[in-house]
């Protein structure tokens, strides 16, 4: 299905509106979706949604004869580190099958995702935090990607790895473009299907306030 034509489906068996529980909200995420999350360490991270997603995956995996949970094969995208170096934050998503690819700006606080990447059980990229935040804006604007000099000559330069962190990661998300004799890095855009954002209040139009969120 073309991501542009993808429609949100209400949780089965419930006549819900736009306000739903965390348990129902995570059922809107489909296998193969790209999910972006907010937060910096533990600040502004939607912990309750991450817990609900983990529980839903583990429950459906236990019920499935083939041992496959829902949703599966997600691509996870995040800018700053989101975790406590142990069990919280994005560590809730560190299960075989739940995520298939991770594009993150900081891996130091997510040991459960680290283990999957080191074992080549997920594809992984480490891109600059600031570039990822600009990518969010450019993806929302329908642009093909982000053009910047940030990362030239570092491990995200495609001549030095392109931000790939293990052997099973082969797709190039970064390439070199020359403009007027100057080199730039072009970070390729990709569709984001789900954004999980922590806020204080929200309205049906998607406006979110964060005045009481540490």
The 10s digit of each residue's pLDDT in 53-73 is 999 999 999 999 999 999 999
Q: Rounded distance, CA 145 to CA 137, Å?
A: 10
Which pLDDT score, from 0 to 100, does residue 105 have?
96
Residues 6+ apart with CB under 8 A from 199: 208, 209, 210, 213
Which pLDDT score, from 0 to 100, does residue 3 have?
44
Which pLDDT score, from 0 to 100, does residue 213 have?
64
Segments of the chain scoring below 50 in pLDDT: 1-4, 6, 8-11, 13-15
Which pLDDT score, from 0 to 100, does residue 16 have?
55
120: left (phi over 0), alpha (psi -120 to 50) or beta: left
| CATH numbers and ranges of domains, the chain | 23-197 (3.40.1080.10)
This prediction has a pTM of 0.88
Q: Rounded distance, CA 140 to CA 206, Å?
A: 14
* 3-class SS of residue 138: helix
Paired with 132 in beta bridges are: none
> Are residues 127 and 163 in contact, defined by beta-carbon separation less than 8 angstroms?
yes
> Are residues 46 and 92 in contact, defined by beta-carbon separation less than 8 angstroms?
no
Which pLDDT score, from 0 to 100, does residue 8 have?
47
């Amino acid at each position: 299905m073309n991501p542009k034509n993808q429609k949100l489906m209400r949780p089965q068996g419930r006549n819900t509106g736009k306000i739903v529980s965390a348990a129902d909200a995570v059922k809107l995420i489909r296998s193969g979706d790209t999910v972006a999350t907010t937060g910096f360490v533990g600040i502004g991270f939607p912990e309750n949604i991450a817990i609900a997603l983990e529980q839903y995956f583990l429950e459906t995996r236990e019920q499935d004869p083939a041992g496959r949970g829902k949703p599966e094969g997600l691509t996870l995208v995040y800018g700053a580190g989101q975790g406590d170096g142990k069990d919280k934050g994005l560590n809730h998503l560190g299960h075989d099958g739940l995520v298939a690819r991770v594009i993150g700006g900081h891996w130091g606080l997510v040991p459960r995702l680290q283990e999957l990447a080191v074992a080549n059980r997920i594809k992984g990229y480490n891109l600059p935090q600031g570039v990822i935040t600009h990518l969010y804006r450019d993806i929302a604007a329908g642009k093909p990607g982000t053009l910047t000099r940030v990362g030239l000559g570092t491990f995200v330069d495609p001549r030095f790895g392109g931000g790939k962190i293990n052997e099973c990661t082969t797709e190039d998300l970064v390439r070199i473009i020359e403009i007027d004799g100057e080199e730039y890095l072009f970070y390729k855009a990709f569709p984001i299907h789900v954004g999980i954002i922590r806020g204080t209040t929200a309205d049906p139009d998607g406006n979110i306030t964060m005045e009481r969120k540490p």
